[in-house]
Amino acid sequence: MASIGSHYLELEQVPLVFDPLEKTKGSFFDQGNFQMFCVQEGFSKVKVKSVKEEDNFNLTIPQRGQVRSIKFSGGQPKILSIQTRSNSVEFVNVFSSDREQTLPLKQHQYDVVGFHWVFRNDYVILITTSTVELYSCNSSSLSFKLLKSFNINVSWAIFSPTEYILIVCSKGGNFLHPFYFRSGSSVPITRLPKIEIELGPSRDLKASLKERDVFVMTLYGHVYIAVIRTSPQGPGFGSEVLLFHLPHDGAAKLSHILNMDIPGRCTLSVVDNLVVVHHQASKTSMIYDISFGGSISGSTLKHNAVLAPLPLSPTVVHLRQRSGSKTPSPKIITDDSLIAHDSSITSITPELYSSKWIFFQPNVVIDAQYGVIWLLKLNLTSISNMMTDKCNVIQLLLMRSGGKDVIVEVFRECLEPGRQANLSILGAMFDQLNHAFKILSGYHDIGPGKPYQNSISQREFYTNVLVPFSDRKDMPYQYMVAVTIEYIRSLNKFGIQVEHFLFELVMVILIENKCFYQLHQFLQYHVICDSKPLATLLLSKELVYSPATQLAMDMFKRLGTADSEIIDILLSRGQILSALRFVKASDKVDTVSARLFLEAAANEDDHMLFYTVYKFFEERNMRLRKRAEFPADEQCKEYEELFINWFGGKKT
Amino acid sequence: MATKEKVKTDDEELSVQAPDLSYDLLEEEDSEEFESVEAPALADEDEDRSFLPVTKKKGRESSSSPRIAQRRKKLDKGGGGGAGLEGGGSDVSLHEDIAHLTTDEDHFRNEDGLRSDMLISLGGPNQSIGASLLSTMTVGEKPKLPDADPETAELARRARMNSTSKDEREFEDEDVHSSSWINHHKHIFIVSTSGKPIYSRYGKEEQLVSLFGIMQALVSFVADDKDVLRCISAQNLKIVFLQKPLVVFVAVSRSKLSENQLKLQLSYAYYQIISVLTYTQIKQIFERSPGFDLRYLLQGSEKFIDNILNITDSDPCYLLNGIRCLSMSPSLRQTITSTILQYRAKEVLFALLIAEDRLITFIKPKDHNLHPIDIHLIFNLVMASTSFKSAESWTPICLPKFNDSGFLHAYVSYLPENSPACLLLFSTDKEKFFELQQCKERIVDKLSKLGLLEQISNSVDTSDYNIDHLQAPEIRHFLYRSRKSYSITSPTMPHLYSSEEDRLRLFDYFMTMNQRLHSHAWATKILYHIGSKEALLGWRTSNFDLYVVFDPLISKAQAILLGNKLIRWINKEEDRLIITSTPTF
Amino acid sequence: MATHQEAAVKSFFVYCPELSTKEGTEHLKVLFYFPDTAQLNRKIRNIGLCEALVNFCKTFSPDKPCETVHTQKTKQAFLEPEPGIWMTLTVTIPCSETIHNSERVLEYHEHLIQDSVVQAALQRSYNMFKLFNGTMRGIEATQSVEGLKKRLDVFYSRYWKNIDIARHNIFSVLQGIPFLPLDKYMYLKVHCFVNLVETTFRQIKRTVFVCGDQLVWSGLEQEDTRIFYQYLYDSWLRHNPNPEASGIPSVPAGPNTGSFILEDETGGKKNTWVYVMINQMLTPSRLFVYAVGPCVLCMFVQTDDSPGDDFIKRISVFLGPRLMHLTTEIRDFVSRNRSQSVEKQPYRMVYFNEMNLAIKSPLLSRYNSYLSITQDMMCLLTQLNAEYDKLNEGETVIRTIADYWIVARKNGHRRFFVLFTQKDVNFAEVNEEVRKICQKEFSNIYFFD
């Protein structure tokens, strides 16, 4: 990990290398299957590269000249689709036989702008200069049937294989026509209302939407069409990103605007629901989080970058030229141990933001020069370190899939003696945390939930944050208690049942530091919730703090399910009459074990007491069975005898 | 003014709680004059000299006393029948003595006058008690009694001395520095206002001279501020001071008794002394020589003080101001009473038939009263004396509530056939020994003719009762006191309460309940208390006080139920359980 | 009843026997004597008498010293708060002049002034001294006997002038602390606020939060809290009766913008020294009391150098808005929950828990003047309370001659007294009534008959 503060975005290398551009007659990246096609001289040989080594293979395709586009279908069998001519696409089941099958639209009247597989190998969407046509595909017979066709003057189109969204830009105007594919229905395509894009003041006619400025992205489970445009104030004022929220039905509408006050070309990625804007001129990137409440203007939210722009973290690629093979292709070495001493390995540091870079959605970065592919990643730690507002940090982290550990880190930081955070801030952070917890644990009764990715349970917070500090000498116990109580307060705020180990922690600390009266006040106000474990803990503290007994008793009483405990305590303290009174008060007279009480009374070696208890149960016997004697199953024989030799028979 | 304050305050404190005390305060009133006497150096004086002031006729006194003793011996020896003849001689000698003493009587009489005026002015509180056992009397009609004379006093003292076994007092030789001495449940000290030791319940007074000195000093120190030292308390320790003319009584108590109850107990000690010496005697003696060592005159009667203290420590009746009655069939009691009435000699002022500490019956003249305290003193006399069982006796006794200036003379004799019942006939005249003796004979004859003697003994043996038949096992014990007749009944102590500790606790219960029910400040009608070992009910009406001890787990509802059930039963049985009326003549 | 004289403090003195060893130097023992007007030889005499009483008592109770002495006209309480130093308080028994047998006599009502009251007043007078001056031995050690005498004089000659012993009763004996009933979350808010204050200003070692005349939070130890609350009540809360019906009085003098209140004994300064236990050590610290409306925040500050005005400014800037916000929340809460607040019950009852000194009684509250109670009955309650000190548990039901009913109950360190003035009820009904009250009040604690 690079030094904190220099960057917050990293490139993670994908173990997939392909022949650098100059070695091929063209390389094609298929987002859908994450495959790279490298066309060799003669246009008949194609190397197919995948992330998995074993999925790499070579293809031989019919010699028909320049390959314009090539990709496999999804599903089985995998159908290879190639476009070599401007107005036709051919389909081959390369795996079954060489039997080649071209689409019936041989010599289509229009030039093909693009084509994409939809839902594995079930459908093909074909975009021509004037139409958008959907075909169903019978993969076995490789026969195609036209299902639907729209007439549009297409200038370009983009397709999201993940969301099955097609955006078509019509010629001339600045209109975007979204299409949305819904599986299941017989004609699984829906045309959504078109969107007009204001291209700012610069009124020159040439100005029109460029394919490279439009993106389909998913943020927090919603589909957006992102459009980069120079800010309305005109060029030089930097550009902004318009985010159109695209519902599965109905019109898309502008919902967010990301301000970037730097002019010049840029492109977008999406990492973990954050929008990343890469600015080529300055070779920096910035991140935006649309879940952060920005400034509201009308129905849209304007957002600023979460942090100041910084370059990606530099990365190094280690390559070994394969000797022997006549078409040598490099191999990536990831095992550092080899790298050290192996002359055949060359290490290169690709230029960041080079012109050879191609960005694919959501976060794919391809360097055509070296034939390497990266995935863009966030470095949450540095982000959280760079952000000053800890509450925002927590919120941001709560919405990142990998945020959990970092959150723990952040809290640890805040508790670190010496630079302990202000309680009010901590309180706010806790509220963030528990809000997320509440949402994720399925309560929706607390207003619009933010799209949280994770949260921290009480147990996790306790073991990972509190415990490590609780026994640190340099940690002032007051602060420790204060923090825990603050946390408990926050839990209460969201009506989350506080778990007993938190209370236990508070109690133990307070008891250790002899703050009994304070503890007492907590219990008095029921801040510390009742539970048998706690009551028992209290009971064990009786010697250091006598009121503990009373507190424990109260708890047992409130629990309502602990009558037997209460009775045991009273008996163990020789308060046998109190025990009996309690039994009467909670009318359990007929059910308690006489033996239990007689035994206790006998141990007290107080004749009068024993007499009283004995008579009490004798009376019970009379009431229940019309006879004073104890039934055998009560096992009171010895006490009957004891009574007789102390008081001589049943009479006084 | 100061004196009034005394009267008033103590009166207010005690009139309800222990009315009899209000009467004692009368003495304090005129006792003011003695309080100025400053304490003399505690030089130990030769007995004779210290006795000098009492009688100018030392020679005669000393000559007479042997004869008295001699006659007593004869009586003891001779017993029942022989007494008549032997007594004849002794009678004469007695007569002489008295003849010679008249002058002294005259001398005292003036004071008597003074005292009775005072009685009139403050008879009020006293009367209410006087009325206790019998129909009321009009205030001030004290019977004309010869004021006590030293010789009779001496006689009374010796009578006490001889009537008790000669062995040592139990705690006499205890080391006063031992922790056992310090931790006694209840110390009682009596000291003269001049600081002279008079009595210590435990240990020899000689060893405690300085302590006595301090007690007296504290009292007089406070008195200098026109104030009265009443009580010092530390945790579970109470030191109560009762100030009588010329004598201070101090109780050092670890018991639960209230200040006033302790005062009452102290006054029992006081009355015990009076019953031997009479107030007049004490007053005169200290007038003559403030530093006088009263112990000389109390010699032999310490045991009576010990005894009355022990009783008041254990028998609730004494502090509850009631007389325990022997329960017997009403008809039997009726016949006995009428028999005694029928055969009483005119010399008989009072007649009592008692069995140990229980009253069977008694009769009295219309216009005179017998106060419970006086009866208790009589009980004490009989119980503490061992000799009565073996022989009839003729002994002077002062009944302070009746008249504390002079002696009555008691003919004491157990009924024949080792009957547990003891008959006492009182006369104002010290010469009426034979009349009373014969009176007794007649009564006994009649009783035996009627075959009652045996019945009496039987009913004494069978008088104890328990309340099992009430079918209320939750009631463990009770004590009932009729507020009309001041008589008390309560069943036998349940077997459950065999231990000393438990009995003491019951005693304390009765005392604390009594304290609450009759508290002057917050008199209470009903008191219900759930304690750690028992539940208690105290119930006060215009007719009775009832104290009930319940099983601790009893419910309140049930307690109320049983309380009523019990009182219904007592009302039904009242004639058998207590003496409801006393015939007069 | 012609004239009536109420109980009054007759004398109070502090003495140290060991200070005078030989005859004729007795005057050295006297550390403080009230009233000062008394002649020296009078002082010496009375102190001598007290010593004598104490020593006499010692002969029979060597380890448990003499506690009280009754004379016909006075009741005296003794206390040895620190080894060798004794305090004695003498109170005159209330008396009235009546005509008895056509003579004017004084009647002393000794039941109207209870031992427990006198003893409590004495103990409290010491506690208060200690709160503001630390221990006497401590002062003696640092400032010599003369210094101690001065301090005693400064404090007590002022103190006793303001004591009206005749008004003391069961409450002054129990010295309980009324707690403001808040729900869990509201309480947590307050507590977190306190934490915030303490962690923001590290010089603030302890904090006490009072609302109206009820405690919400105390960081002090229990005994200190009890004493401090008494002080706060007497010197501030009591004098600021509640204009609102909200059940929590606002403090007129403490303007709603929030400000420092409470001048120290000598007046003037904005902060005063108090001695409280901090980390098991009796420590002098400066007391700052800041109020917004009914909410009073007491801060115990420890600084080497006296905290300057800037410190005060910083605090008030910090506290002002926050405390104001909190106050509003509490006000709303209380008015929402007024219905079940203890003020509303028509019972003449007193509930006290020895374990946390919590006291609950409508009789305490200013808004229940309709719950009048005669001095007699008040004294009876006081008396019963004293009796229950000795009991671990038990119950007493009393019907007075005036047909009042009183029920006293103690159970697990909790005691409960209730007085019924309606005359026509019987034992069973009273019993039922009590059961209802307990149901309502104590259902959530281990307390039953």
The pLDDT score that the predictor gives to residue B144 is 65
Percentage above 90 pLDDT, chain B: 37
Q: Which of C168, C200, C223 is where one domain is finished?
A: C168
- Say what the alpha-carbon torsion angle A637, A643, A649, A650 is, to the nearest 10 degrees: -90
Phi, psi dihedral angles at A59 (to 5 degrees): -120, 150
Structure tokens at A258: 């990301």
Residue A91 belongs to some domain of the structure: yes
Closest CA to A144 of A152, A136, A134: A136
For position C53, what pLDDT does the model report? 93
The mean pLDDT value for B151-175 works out to: 75
The DSSP call for residue B446 is H
Query: How many domains does the structure of chain C reveal?
Result: 3
pLDDT at C246 over 60: no
Same domain? C146 vs C48:
yes
Mutation to test the C interface, candidates A554, A583, A584, A586, most C Cβ within 10 Å? A554
User: Each residue of A113-143: pLDDT tens digit?
Assistant: 888 888 888 888 888 888 888 888 887 777 7
Residue A368 has pLDDT above 90, yes or no: no
Encoding tokens for residue B91? 């009678």
Name chain A contacts of B533, Cβ cutoff 8 Å: 608-609, 612
Q: Is residue C75 part of a domain?
A: yes
Find, among B508, C397, B552, B559, the residue nearest to A576 by Cα. B552
Q: Which residue, among A391, A477, A383, has the nearest Cα to A429 in the 3D structure?
A: A391
Q: Which of A29-33, A471-475, B554-558, C101-105 has the highest mean pLDDT?
A: B554-558
Residue A160 has pLDDT above 50, yes or no: yes
**pLDDT digit string, tens, across residues C70-83:** 999 999 999 999 99
DSSP structure class, residue C6: -
Instruction: Quote the percentage of chain C above a pLDDT of 90.
Output: 41
Mean pLDDT, chain A, as a whole number?
81
Question: Is the confidence at residue B52, as pLDDT, over 60?
Answer: no
Residue B571: pLDDT band (50, 70, 90) is very high
Phi, psi of A43 (to 5 degrees): 55, 15
In chain B, CATH 3.30.450.30 covers: 323-461
Cβ contact C73–B222 (<8 Å):
no
Residue C282, strand partner residues: C277
**Which of C337, C355, C380 marks a domain boundary?**
C337
CA–CA separation, B431 vs B428, rounded Å?
Answer: 9
Q: Is B239 on the interface with C (CB under 8 A)?
A: yes
Whether the CB of B471 is below 8 Å from some CB of chain A: the reply is no
DSSP assignment of B311-364? HHHH-HHHHHT-EEB----HHHHHHHHHHHHHH--TT-SEEEEEETTEEEEEEB
Please count the other Cβ atoms lying within 10 Å of the Cβ belonging to residue C436: 11
pLDDT score at C384: 92
Which residues of chain B are in CATH 3.30.450.70 domains? 150-315
| Radius of gyration (C-alpha) of chain B in whole angstroms | 24
Contacts of B49 (CB under 8 A, 6+ apart): none
* Residue spans of beta strands (DSSP E) within C293-429: 295-301, 348-353, 358-360, 394-400, 405-411, 414-420
Tell me, what CATH number does A185's domain have? 2.120.10
Same domain, C240 and C377: no
- Give the residue-averaged pLDDT of B51-55: 28
Higher pLDDT, C440 or A287: A287
Specify if C173 maps to a domain. no
Tell which residue, B371, B277, B240, B253, has the closest CA to residue B318. Answer: B371
pTM of the model: 0.79
CB contact under 8 Å between B229 and C71, yes or no, is yes
Round the average pLDDT of chain C to a whole number and report it. Answer: 84
Q: Residue A212: pLDDT above 90? A: no
pLDDT number for residue C262: 53
C-alpha B473/C-alpha B562 separation (Å) is 10
**Token pair in block for residue C78:** 């003794």
C264 touches chain B (CB under 8 A): no
Query: Which backbone phi and psi does A323 adopt, to 5 degrees?
Result: -75, 155
Q: For residue B98, what pLDDT is reported?
A: 29
What pLDDT shows up at residue A96? 65
Whether A305 is covered by a domain: the verdict is no
pLDDT band at A84 (very low <50, low <70, confident <90, very high): confident
Reported as a single tens digit per residue, the pLDDT across A401-454 is 878 888 888 888 888 888 888 888 889 889 888 888 888 877 655 455 567 888
Q: Do residue C307 and residue C203 come from a single domain?
A: yes
Shared domain for C121 and C237, answered yes or no, is no
Question: What is the rounded average pLDDT for all residues in chain B?
Answer: 75
| Chain A environment of C220 (Cβ under 8 Å) | 517
pLDDT > 70? residue B45? no
In this predicted structure, the answer to whether residue B34 has a pLDDT above a threshold of 60 is no
Q: Would you call B533 and A609 a contact, using CB atoms and an 8 Å cutoff? A: yes
What is the Cα A240 distance to its own chain's centre? 28
Q: What's the rounded mean pLDDT across residues B320-345?
A: 91
- β-strands A175-181, A165-170 pairing: antiparallel
Band of pLDDT at residue C103, cut at 50, 70 and 90: confident
Same domain, C231 and C292: yes
Quick one: average pLDDT of C335-358? 75
pLDDT digits (tens, 9 = 90+) for C395-411: 999 999 888 999 999 98
Instruction: Give the per-residue pLDDT at A494.
Output: 87
B160 alpha-carbon distance from chain centroid: 15
Say which residue the tokens 């940690």 belong to: A475
Same domain for C224 and C96, yes or no, is no
With a CB cutoff of 8 Å and minimum separation 6, the contacts of A417 are A472, A474, A475, A476
Local confidence band at A101 (pLDDT 50, 70, 90 cut-offs): low
C118 and C241 share one domain: no
**C80 touches B at CB < 8 Å:** no
Place of tokens 């019970």: A620
Based on the domain organization, do C308 and C361 belong to the same domain?
A: no
* Pairing of β A300-303 and β A253-259: parallel
Q: For C196-243, write each residue's pLDDT tens digit.
A: 999 888 889 999 999 888 899 999 989 999 999 998 888 777 665 443
Q: Which of C108, C137, C168 is the last residue of a domain?
A: C168
Task: Answer left, alpha or beta for residue B195, where phi above 0 means left and psi between -120 and 50 means alpha.
Answer: left
Q: Could you give the C-alpha distances from C413 to A309, B567, C116, C179, C388, in angstroms and in order?
A: 67, 36, 18, 17, 10
Of the pLDDT bands very low, low, confident and very high (cuts 50, 70, 90), residue C153 is: very high
A507 residue type, one letter: M
pLDDT at position B488 is: 94
- Name chain A contacts of C198, Cβ cutoff 8 Å: 478, 482
Measure B447 CA to nearest chain C CA, in Å. 47
Report chain C residues touching chain A, CB-CB < 8 A. Answer: 179, 182, 184-185, 187-189, 191-192, 195-196, 198-200, 217-222, 225, 280, 353, 355-356, 358, 393, 411-414, 444-446, 448-449
The rounded distance, in Å, linking the Cα atoms of B244 and B456 is: 41
Chain C CB contacts of B519 below 8 Å: 111
pLDDT recorded at residue A341: 64
Question: B8 touching C, CB under 8 A?
Answer: yes
Contacts of C199 in chain A (CB under 8 A): 420, 422-423, 478-479, 482
Residue of A485, A547, A582 with shortest CB distance to C188: A485
Q: Which of residues 463-502 of A touch C (CB under 8 A)?
A: 478-479, 481-482, 485-486, 488-489, 492-493
Structure tokens at A583: 């039994």
Pair of tokens at residue C389: 């000190």
Q: Please state which of the ranges A482-496, A533-547, B145-159, B211-225 shows the lowest mean pLDDT.
A: B145-159
> Looking at residue A233, what is its pLDDT?
59
CA B157 to chain centre: 16
From B473, B494, B532, residue closest to A577, measured CB to CB? B532
Structure tokens at B520: 């002057």
How far apart, in Å, are the Cα atoms of A312 and each of A504, B389, C337? 46, 124, 58
Q: Is residue C219 part of a domain?
A: yes
pLDDT of residue C189: 92
| Inter-chain CB proximity C355 and A485 less than 8 Å | no
Mean pLDDT computed over A566-570: 90
Query: Is the pLDDT reported for residue A301 higher than 50?
Result: yes
- Are residues C72 and C16 both part of a single domain? yes
User: What is the extent of the structural domain holding A39?
Assistant: 11-230
Query: Is residue C447 included in any domain, yes or no?
Result: no
Whether residue C31 is contained in a domain is answered as yes
- The CATH number for C424's domain is 3.30.450
pLDDT-derived band at C135, boundaries 50, 70, 90: very high
- Listed range (A89-93, B138-142, B293-297, C309-313) with the worst mean pLDDT: B138-142
Q: Is residue C446 part of a domain?
A: no
Geometric angle at alpha carbon A322, from A318 and A328, rounded to 5°: 110
Nearest residue of A to residue C443 by CA position?
A: A558
A110-119, A547-556, B39-48, B339-348: range with lowest mean pLDDT: B39-48
Q: How many domains does chain A contain in total?
A: 2
What mean pLDDT comes out for the span C52-58?
92
Domain that holds residue C38: 3-168
CA angle C313/C318/C324 to nearest 5° reads: 115
Q: Give yes or no: residues C25 and C137 share one domain.
A: yes
Among A194, A213, A230, identify where a domain stops. Answer: A230
* pLDDT score of C398: 93
Examine the domain organization and report whether C129 and C276 are in the same domain. Answer: no
More confidently predicted of A230 and C286:
C286
At A649, is the pLDDT very low, low, confident or very high (cuts 50, 70, 90)? low
Task: Measure the N-to-C terminal CA separation of chain B; round to a whole number of Å.
Answer: 43
Res B47: pLDDT = 30
Structure-derived torsion over alpha carbons of residues C359, C364, C365, C371, reported in degrees to the nearest 10 = 120
Task: Output the CATH code of domain B150-315.
Answer: 3.30.450.70
pLDDT at A502 over 80: yes
**How far does the CA of residue B537 sit from the closest CA of chain C (Å)?**
9
pLDDT at A354 over 80: yes
Residue C178 is assigned to a structural domain of this protein: no
| Fold type of domain B323-461 | Beta-Lactamase (3.30.450)
Say whether residue B553 is in contact with chain C using an 8 A CB cutoff: no
Residue A69 in domain: yes
Q: How many residues does chain B have?
A: 585
pLDDT of B146 higher than 60: yes
pLDDT exceeds 70 at position C56: yes
Stretch C233-257: mean pLDDT: 51
Which chain C residues touch A484 with a CB distance below 8 Å? none
**Same domain, residue pair C12 and C137:** yes
pLDDT at residue C268 above 50? no
